[in-house]
Structure 1
Amino acid sequence: MSENEFARLMDALPGRAKEALQHWGLADQTPKLLKFRENAVFQVRLADGKPAALRLHRPGYHDDRTLASELQWMAALAAGGLRVPAPIPTLDGRNLVTLPATPAFATQHADIVSWMSGEELGRSGVPLDHSPDRIKAIFGRIGEAMAELHTISDRWTPPASFTRPAWDFDGLLGENPFWGRFWDCQGLTPEMAGRLVDLRAFLGEKLRLAERSGLDYGLIHADLVRENVLVGADGVEFIDFDDAGYGWRMFDIATALLRNRHEPCYEQLSDALIAGYRKRRPLSDATLETLPLFLLLRSLTYIGWVGDRLDMPNAEERLSRYVREAMELAAAIR
């Protein structure tokens, strides 16, 4: 997308948001754009004055059935006591609406979810600014909340129409992984591509062995990076379930840890997260031994992700960095 096209899109976004708000009877306000990545997210005010989040979903990424399933699961998690956004129905009782195509926009879906009041744990690539003791306390709470998410999910019976992506063998290492073919995406040098082809084959054997060992599998958040963990005075909140689905629970743990590997207190925060998880849910030492494998698998997904988005700022630098990180992690398990 050119700069001019992006500028026109940004100019048109507020009007698109007000179009969506009509379904909730809230079109008399000016929504505040919070972020524009996979989705455009706005802060809005409900009829009672309370804040909420309007999401305009990226066209073509998820269909209406998959998005409705996400909202059903979030509602179940919130009802189970987890601090996550919950859907707010339209005037006619729908959780999700479809906005028709216009000259500026393709057909897309929109929803409103409840507001979370915590502050972002941090930003990827920026050192955490909490004290070491505070970091350990936060990651302990993340571990506990993650375990609760898994437990509530196991107790919940999804409706027959429920469908979400799977971070399973095919979703990670199959011919068309959920976040892209990391071994032959655009931007790779022939040397990089060759090394990733070999690594994919090696990991296929390792993951099949782990799969047969009976690893804990079920619904997971799948993207508990710093930006998606909000920290409050008395707990943590999880947001952005856009990529949530089925997967190994160790994948959730690996995702929460991967971008913190270079923190000076990484060992302590990792131990705190594991200890917090074990307060709420069993996690055997044998299962924990697969953490290096899942850290590597998580790192490979970022290569596929950025390989499909080479028009974004710093994409080439990020691609090279992600490949280096994957190779570092691979060296630890070969």
Structure 2
Amino acid sequence: MSEASCDFVAGRENQVFKVKGDRGTFALRIRRPGLRSVTELRSELVWLDAMDRAGLSVPRPEPSASGFLLETVDGHQVDLVGWLDGRPLGRSREPLELDNPAGIFFALGRELARLHDASDAFVPPKGFLRVHWDADGLLGDDPLWGRFWENPSLDAETRNLLLTFRSKAGEELKRLSSTLDYGLIHADPVRENVLLDGDCLRFIDFDDGGYGFRLFDIATALLKNRKEPDYMTLKANLIEGYASVRQLDMSRLGLFMALRAVTYVGWVVPRMGEEGSPIRNTRFVADACELCSDYLRQSAAI
């Protein structure tokens, strides 16, 4: 592909380039050092390959000339995956602009269920390694996205609220973990990671994908849409779409909405120096306070 064109696309977690050549169009990714181990990166690509073979519309890994899905170039881990056409479902903090929002959210729920089904059917090879969005990964001493209760912007009242949530939610997860649906999940199906291409719905950006509660994917898909005027309809359609493929107990969705919200309060801490982060932080903390308070009130009422 030495004659292919190569254009910069994005550079937050990974450096991503759009590559166009005689073989087609691809995304060339230079993976961010330290974000994932080599074993984790290879495992992601093996999983993506299996999901593509199962009929999901996901980036299909392309082997190098040596036959490997991941190569080391000048000390950087690099991979190549198929470019997926389509436009994002939406942009954060902007109103959704969809011709058929109910139908699209039904399709989103259906495709998440198909992803979970295909992931359950996937037999990971020896050495397969991905992160775990389990009780420790969400609420332990070293959560995957950071110690949210130590966000330096929190006042005493807010910190106490998040600590109380952490304790109560941890107790509930420990009690329910053996009964909740758990397996490989996308973990970040936000608007920007869902592409619409006609009637086709595609998932991109599996960087955070790993083992987790299936409700975590549902909560993530819904969280940033809570301010939409027809949110309750969107939520109902997403759940209906999921149920059209597989069953999932939604009774603990409020817990997972709060769990997803607090992850952002931890995630933003090392990014406080980035442009716009103080505003994002304020929004993340407000969302977490609202959802954690809702969860604690509902728990007290049971």
Q: Do they superpose with TM above 0.5?
A: yes
Please give the alpha-carbon distance, in whole angstroms, between the structure 2 residues aligned to 1:51 and 1:296. Answer: 39
Which residue does 1:315 correspond to in 2?
Answer: 277
Equivalent of 2:206, from 232, 241, 258?
A: 241
Deviations 1:201-249 (A, max 9, x none): 122122223324x011000000000000001112200000000000000
Which residue does 2:57 correspond to in 1?
Answer: 83
What's the CA shift for 1:191? 4.1
Which residue does 1:223 correspond to in 2?
Answer: 188
Matched, 1:144 2:118: no
What's the CA shift for 1:28? 3.4
Structure 2 counterparts to residues 51-200 of structure 1, below 5 A = 51-100=25-74, 107-131=75-99, 134-200=100-166
Which residue does 1:261 correspond to in 2?
Answer: 226
Please give the alpha-carbon distance, in whole angstroms, between the structure 1 residues aligned to 2:76 and 2:139. Answer: 29
Please give the alpha-carbon distance, in whole angstroms, between the structure 1 residues aligned to 2:118 and 2:236. Answer: 23
Equivalent of 2:216, from 229, 244, 251?
A: 251
Deviation larger for 271-280 or 190-199: 190-199
Please give the alpha-carbon distance, in whole angstroms, between the structure 2 residues aligned to 1:34 and 1:191. Answer: 41
Which residue does 1:328 correspond to in 2?
Answer: 290
Aligned residue type for 1:84: V
What's the CA shift for 1:30? 4.0
Aligned residue type for 2:87: E
Deviation larger for 107-116 or 154-163: 107-116
SS in 2 for 1:295: helix
Instruction: List alignment gaps of at least 5 residues for structure 2.
Output: 297-302
Runs of 4+ in structure 1 off by over 4 angstroms are none
Please give the alpha-carbon distance, in whole angstroms, between the structure 2 residues aligned to 1:306 and 1:226. Answer: 18
Aligned residue type for 1:41: V
Please give the alpha-carbon distance, in whole angstroms, between the structure 2 residues aligned to 1:237 and 1:41. Answer: 18
SS in 2 for 1:224: coil
Asked if structure 2 preserves the Cα contact closer than 8 Å seen for 1:210 and 1:290, the reply is: no
Please give the alpha-carbon distance, in whole angstroms, between the structure 1 residues aligned to 2:160 and 2:246. Answer: 40
SS in 2 for 1:264: coil
Please give the alpha-carbon distance, in whole angstroms, between the structure 2 residues aligned to 1:318 and 1:159. Answer: 39
Please give the alpha-carbon distance, in whole angstroms, between the structure 2 residues aligned to 1:189 and 1:292. Answer: 24
TM-score calculated relative to the size of structure 1 = 0.86
Please give the alpha-carbon distance, in whole angstroms, between the structure 1 residues aligned to 2:21 and 2:51. Answer: 22
Return closer, same or farther for 1:37/1:75 CA change in 2, 3 Å cut-off. Answer: same
Matched, 1:47 2:4: no
Aligned residue type for 1:333: Y
Aligned residue type for 1:40: Q
State the percentage of identical aligned residues.
45
Please give the alpha-carbon distance, in whole angstroms, between the structure 2 residues aligned to 1:59 and 1:289. Answer: 39
What's the CA shift for 1:116? 0.7
Q: How many residues align?
A: 296
Which residue does 1:295 correspond to in 2?
Answer: 257
What's the CA shift for 1:32? 1.1
Asked if structure 1 preserves the Cα contact closer than 8 Å seen for 2:5 and 2:20, the reply is: no
Deviations 1:285-333 (A, max 9, x none): xx21100100000011111110121111121221121111111112222
SS in 2 for 1:51: strand
Asked if structure 1 preserves the Cα contact closer than 8 Å seen for 2:161 and 2:292, the reply is: no
